[in-house]
Amino acid sequence: MLRTSLGPLTLESCIYNASGPRTGSVDALGKIAASAAGAVLAKSATVAEQSGNDLPRTWQADKVASLNSEGLPNKGIGYYLAPDAVAAAGTKPYLVSLSGHNLADNLAMLTEAVAVEGVAGIELNLACPNVIGHPIIAYDFDQLRDVLTAVQAHAGLRASDKLFGIKMPPYFDGPHFEKAAAIINEFDCVHFVASINTIGNALVIDTEAEMPAIRPKNGFGGLSGPAVKYTALANVKKMRELLSPRIAVVGVGGIESGEDVFNMLLCGATAVQIGTCHWIEGPKCFDRITAELEALLQRKGYASVNDVRGKLREW
Ligand code: DHB
């Protein structure tokens, strides 16, 4: 019922985890694999291990929103490509996320990732708002084109049969959607676009302390959770309208229920990723949300998620 195809891959469920919370260790990846998740996606990696920004760097208001400025703490790409990490995903497609400090780092990590047989797919993160001194790549359209030009020319990726996609920041205005999609459409190496990453540079205040709730970047961090769900739906809908049909849209942002997944499917998502809810609830969220989606599909008389995709009705 939830089976879907993403580029060259078949996923037994269209629901899996977002890169970010609870994805940084072999142990965490194993727990995702043991749940109903349809794939296992690792934490965004840099070339070398790094500890990230100063603490406190996360804030949560359950059922409302979360804020983070972690600054990409991760164990380095070698860890996520090692046999232990690949094995943690078990029989599920294992995906890695690359978020290098610069294009050369991303290309070097791409070379390593395509060489590992057990890696089924690669997500290139063009949307991290939290690395101090580095603007969000996909808000700079010249840089977006330059990155994709270099990736497309990467001989290892061209020769590989792996899934390849990009993680995008949210856009908020028609011309920005159109420009981003038009650039992405030029590159046939892109199998999917995952929309959205956090809404960058939000600010939460601790009223008692009269201070920002988190320390890095004077309190500015990426907003996630239910508060961003509506922005995420709009981005999925717009990207689906504007991208070539050969490029799948993976919906991400504030999903916390089967109904939220259903709405993403209506807007044209081929699969969905869950970040904040996984962070708060743990990997059992994949079991709960799967059961909720199956019940909803059944109640509405749908046999498969493929029958729902893009079926949002018009007024
Ligand atoms: C981090 C946050 C992101 O939104 C992202 O895409 C990558 C990394 C972080 O702060 O670790």
The angle, 0 to 180 degrees and rounded to 10, between the axes of the packed helices 258-266 and 229-242 is 30
Q: Counting runs of H as helices and runs of E as strands, what totals does the chain give? A: 11, 16
Mention every residue, 6+ apart, whose C-beta is less than 8 A from residue 105: 46, 47
Is residue 41 within 8 A of residue 23, CB to CB? The reply is yes
Which pLDDT does position 236 carry in this prediction? 99
Distance between CA 12 and CA 3 in Å, rounded?
4
Distance between CA 265 and CA 237 in Å, rounded?
9
Nearest residue to 275 via CA among 251, 240, 247: 251
| pLDDT per residue as tens digits for the range 81-118 | 999 999 999 999 999 999 999 999 999 999 999 999 99
Residue nearest atom 7 in ligand 1 by C-alpha distance: 128
Q: How remote is the CA of residue 129 from the centroid of ligand 1, in Å?
A: 7
Nearest residue to 250 via CA among 315, 189, 183, 163: 163
Ligand 1 near 99 CB (within 6 A): yes
| pLDDT per residue as tens digits for the range 240-280 | 999 999 999 999 999 999 999 999 999 999 999 999 999 99
Ligand 1 near 66 CB (within 6 A): no
Which pLDDT does position 129 carry in this prediction? 87
Is the pTM higher than 0.90? The answer reads yes
Which pLDDT does position 133 carry in this prediction? 84
- Which residue numbers in the chain have pLDDT < 50? none
Residue nearest atom 1 in ligand 1 by C-alpha distance: 72
Strands (E), 58-155: 58-61, 65-68, 94-98, 121-125
Using a 10 angstrom Cβ sphere, with 0-12 exposed, 13-18 middle and 19 or more buried, the burial of residue 131 is buried
- State the ipTM, two decimals: 0.95
133-to-78, 102, 217 alpha-carbon distances in Å:
25, 12, 10
Ligand 1 near 166 CB (within 6 A): no
Which residues are designated catalytic? Answer: 128
